[in-house]
Structure 1
Amino acid sequence: MPDCWHSAHVHYHEPDKDGLLLDAVRPLLDRLGTAVRGAHVLRHWRQGPHLRINLRADPPTWESRVRPAIEEVVGGYLSDHPSTARLDIARVLAQHRLLAEQEREQGPLTPWPDDNTIVYRPYASREHVLGEEGAALLADFYTATTGPLMDMLDHVRYGHDDKELLATSLMLAVAHTVLGPITRSFVSYRSHAEGFIATCSAPAAVRAAFDRRYEERRDELTARLRAVISTLDPRGEIRAEGAALEPVPFAREWAALTERFAGRARPLIGRGLLITAGAPERLKALPVLSDFHQTMLSTHAYHERYLSTPEFLTYRLLLNYTYLHLTRLGMSPPERMRTCHLAANAVEDVYGVSASGMIEQFTAAHRTANAHA
């Protein structure tokens, strides 16, 4: 019989799911080994906080080996380490309605299965959003990064790093590798952070909190930037003065992995698949437009010369994939946007550049050129 994807939803309302991932899902995947031909795990919210364990196997293997292993290993963990969280479902549902609209999520938001239960549901490929090729590529990416995900969570568990600095390493690695150098590609992080801040209910307070965080961690963040670039490009011109020689864990691996998937994505993007160049339309649809984006949109040239190129679209796709990985690590969207702000600040500090200044210079030059045309 042909393989197909199966999905086990592990409903576990505790905010911290790292133990469930490391002490239940990882042993499950180790036990199954080659019995499954693809495996990945996602954190999800619809119908209550849960993990989705997605496994590719033929139906007989699923029924005889995979499902019993899930019940034994994951079910055993739930019995021994039950979630005791108490959530205000009415309050959470308001957030879920917004998420469902933003993410074009299909399916009901209620009822919520009981906490500490396993529910088997059809595999959600998101093909309705991504298309057939996009859904297949993302599933392959999730499968390829599930092992590294467990290694990263283990790395954090034993105090070798924290999630914010680890996320910074991954974001710097993909930016410097897929659309380097970092002094150019970091502008995306400033763009994403500015877009987030502008749409918050109290943007000045959010910006102040992000800036305080940067001041608290400035030395760590600038040191991490120097070390990541030294790890990826030890003899390159972009290497910062005083860069550490000790390789940063996961930086090379993430750079290699994202470049491998960029290679698979490029021909598909060239055919108009996976991702589209709709940045101006998306930005103009925001309820509030940041000063940064108002400058960016003051001329169509930035979109034509940069945002709509196949090179940038490939980078944007792999950046989105990296953001999805940060969600799998347990980072919330606001934490991810704060990390964008921190990473952009670090690049500006270390290299003496300015994302806003670069955009202003570009748009001013093209307005002048158009005026003389």
Structure 2
Amino acid sequence: MSDPVDGQGPVTAWDVVLYHYQPDKARALREAVLPLARQAGAEGLAAHVERHWRFGPHLRLRLRGPEARVSGAARRAAEALRAWAAAHPSVADRSDEQLLAEAAAAGRAELVAPPYGPLVPDNTVVAAPVNRSAEQALRSLIGAESAELREELLRTGLPALDSACHFLGAHGDTPQARVQLVVTALAAHATAHPDGLVGAHYSVLSHLEDFLVHEDPDGSLRAGFERRWERTGRAVTALVGRITEGGARDWERDWAHWSANAWSLAERRLAAGADLGGRHAAYRERAEALGDRATAERWNAELRTRYSEFHRLLHRSDPDGAMWHRPDYLINRTGTNGLYRLLAICDVRPLERYLAAHLLVRSVPELTGHRWQALLGAPEAAGAGAGTGQAGTDGTRMNGTRTDGTYMEGAA
């Protein structure tokens, strides 16, 4: 708790959690959770929304403010969510055993240690003070300044979440609509980068290539992504070009505004001395604690041997890793991680995000003529899906990332 604010008592935080096992949660967000977040904000409380899977898939409304007010607001929000869940109950499509198996896989991917159960029953609503040990675990992993900025980016993301969920609803909450949402959000995100689309797409490329080198050993995913590009590339290029040239419309503007604000917030925090670099030893320790050899190797540079062509060539061009400490890298990584977190809240599956990343990356040479293979000396393969990269001669810089940090918290 902090010092009293305006004589209203100490500041505290409560979580209101809706366990909603149905995979698509956009309706719950549109009709229940996001309106409650807006209401709390109108009442002078800090509010944001998160999504997680530990102890059962759920949406989490976090309220922060004077203790006497926030506890009452949390209880009222819980009652409203219970009424909504009773009228619109979630219908699970997986057994408890499947959910726990998926949680174990997600735990390895996101470095969240067991236990993952017991599962809280579907359609349960719980309101309680925030788990301080979970907050501290997050701070120990990414640093106090990054944890505070993470929460601020979630708070400022409410309008973007709201507009995205309404866009999805208007298009049937379909996978195609979610992919369009991600392409749009990534293009809007590029408008915040000082080097535009060329500068902004490197973290997207890095995440994509790291995913494929680990999860696509036979190349079938990349081939499928490329087939989608062949069918939709012209429309994707037109969409990305319009938005990156400043032509965002309607709901798209909310994402462009969020990204510009995210860059500004991260830039100011970094200039004030905040450490936005994360604690890499803590990531490695978490990975080792899971007891899974492949996970431990992936997070330990001394053990890891599997890298994408992009990352091998990137390391060759920057063997000392100077880029990891540059302000533009740290600022862009912070904003991009926040963007991925928002997209995950509004139902975007990992494969949908990586497909959208592939489509955006493939549009870059069409729009800018820029190819990372040419810069880094890679052979230009026909249909090289993920390959557009970093300029050096035009003033932009390479901007890979180690992890997207989409969740990276163990709280329920």
Alignment TM-score, normalising by the size of structure 1:
0.83
CA distance in 2, matches of 1:173, 1:199: 28
Confirm or deny that 1:83 pairs with 2:101.
no
Q: Measure how far apart 1:301 and its partner are.
A: 4.5
1:298 is matched with 316
CA distance in 2, matches of 1:259, 1:271: 14
SS of 1:47 mapped into structure 2: coil
Tell me the amino acid that sits aligned with residue 214 of structure 1: W
2:266 is matched with 262
Whether the 8 Å CA contact 2:149–2:266 is kept in 1: the answer is: no
Do the aligned partners of residues 40 and 287 (structure 1) sit closer, same or farther apart at CA in structure 2, a change above 3 Å counting? Answer: farther
Which ranges of structure 2 fall in alignment gaps of 5 or more residues?
A: 1-8, 282-297, 379-388, 393-412
1:275 is matched with 278
Do the aligned partners of residues 195 and 264 (structure 1) sit closer, same or farther apart at CA in structure 2, a change above 3 Å counting? Answer: same
2:69 is matched with 61
Do the aligned partners of residues 101 and 245 (structure 1) sit closer, same or farther apart at CA in structure 2, a change above 3 Å counting? Answer: closer
2:358 is matched with 341
Do the aligned partners of residues 184 and 59 (structure 1) sit closer, same or farther apart at CA in structure 2, a change above 3 Å counting? Answer: closer
Do the aligned partners of residues 22 and 272 (structure 1) sit closer, same or farther apart at CA in structure 2, a change above 3 Å counting? Answer: closer
Do the aligned partners of residues 310 and 245 (structure 1) sit closer, same or farther apart at CA in structure 2, a change above 3 Å counting? Answer: closer
Do the aligned partners of residues 271 and 339 (structure 1) sit closer, same or farther apart at CA in structure 2, a change above 3 Å counting? Answer: same
Q: Measure how far apart 1:224 and its partner are.
A: 1.0
Q: Measure how far apart 1:341 and its partner are.
A: 1.2
Greater relative CO (CA pairs within 8 A, separation 6+): 2
Do the aligned partners of residues 147 and 299 (structure 1) sit closer, same or farther apart at CA in structure 2, a change above 3 Å counting? Answer: closer
Q: Measure how far apart 1:120 and its partner are.
A: 3.1
1:220 is matched with 235
Which ranges of structure 1 fall in alignment gaps of 5 or more residues?
A: 232-243, 366-373
Tell me the amino acid that sits aligned with residue 182 of structure 1: L
Q: Measure how far apart 1:153 and its partner are.
A: 1.1
CA distance in 2, matches of 1:290, 1:58: 49
For 1:288, which of 299, 306, 309 is the aligned residue? 306
Which structure is higher in helix share? 1
Confirm or deny that 1:327 pairs with 2:344.
yes
CA distance in 1, matches of 2:376, 2:299: 18
1:35 is matched with 43
Confirm or deny that 1:115 pairs with 2:132.
no
Whether the 8 Å CA contact 2:32–2:81 is kept in 1: the answer is: yes
Confirm or deny that 1:7 pairs with 2:24.
no
Whether the 8 Å CA contact 1:47–1:111 is kept in 2: the answer is: yes
Confirm or deny that 1:136 pairs with 2:148.
yes
SS of 2:61 mapped into structure 1: strand
SS of 1:320 mapped into structure 2: helix
Give the share of equivalent positions with the same residue, in percent.
24
For 2:78, which of 59, 70, 79 is the aligned residue? 70
Whether the 8 Å CA contact 1:40–1:54 is kept in 2: the answer is: yes
SS of 2:112 mapped into structure 1: coil
For 2:99, which of 92, 102, 112 is the aligned residue? 92
Whether the 8 Å CA contact 2:143–2:279 is kept in 1: the answer is: no
2:167 is matched with 155
Do the aligned partners of residues 10 and 36 (structure 1) sit closer, same or farther apart at CA in structure 2, a change above 3 Å counting? Answer: farther
1:369 is matched with none
CA RMSD of aligned residues (A): 3.1
1:145 is matched with 157
